[in-house]
Amino acid sequence: KATNASSCCGAGGCSTEVYNIMTDDYTGLAGYAPDADLGLGCGLPTQFAGIRPGDTVLDLGSGAGNDCFVARHETGADGRVIGVDFTPEMVAKARENAGKLGFQNVEFRQGDIEELPVSDGMIDVVVSNCVLNLVPDKRKAFSEVMRVLRPGGHFSISDVVLVGELPEAIR
């Protein structure tokens, strides 16, 4: 966080620090739920998201709910967390995990990131952990993020990035 504060974009973005995903460790984060940690992410987007008590948070590609449960700790009981995942199996697993934890303000919806099942302007913070690289139409996905964010809302994304051109064989 300290490195980000002095980076080109200020706190919360464009860090010059080389980040090593092998050091990610959710186990020390408040809200961590072992049953929801499938090891599928590539960062800790909630750590830099600036989530405040009472916020409404949206997790894109929520999987079994890991980032949602960490975000829920940040929002507190007065906040709300919505996870959206493409697969019914992950939504079912996330709902099961939320039930075990007894959270009433965390919900999971099946849906497509390119057509989010969320109303306009209702989200304070969007997080996503190693999912947007899988979305075919990234412009549409970011358009959806902007649609659901409230004025003054923001997003925190952890993902993989290719520096250079994608080889023709895999385009």
Determine the 3-state secondary structure of 33 from DSSP.
coil
What is the model's pTM? 0.74
What is the DSSP secondary structure assignment for residue 58, as one 8-state letter?
Answer: E
Q: What pLDDT does residue 79 have?
A: 97
Options 2.60.40.1220, 3.20.20.70, 3.40.50.980, 3.40.50.150; CATH for 45-159 is 3.40.50.150
Structure confidence at residue 10 (pLDDT): 38
Helix axes 66-75, 88-101, angle to 10 degrees: 40
pLDDT of the residue at 119: 98
In whole angstroms, what is the distance from residue 36 CA to residue 68 CA? 9
**Is residue 52 over pLDDT 80?**
yes
Contact at 8 Å (CB) between 48 and 54? no
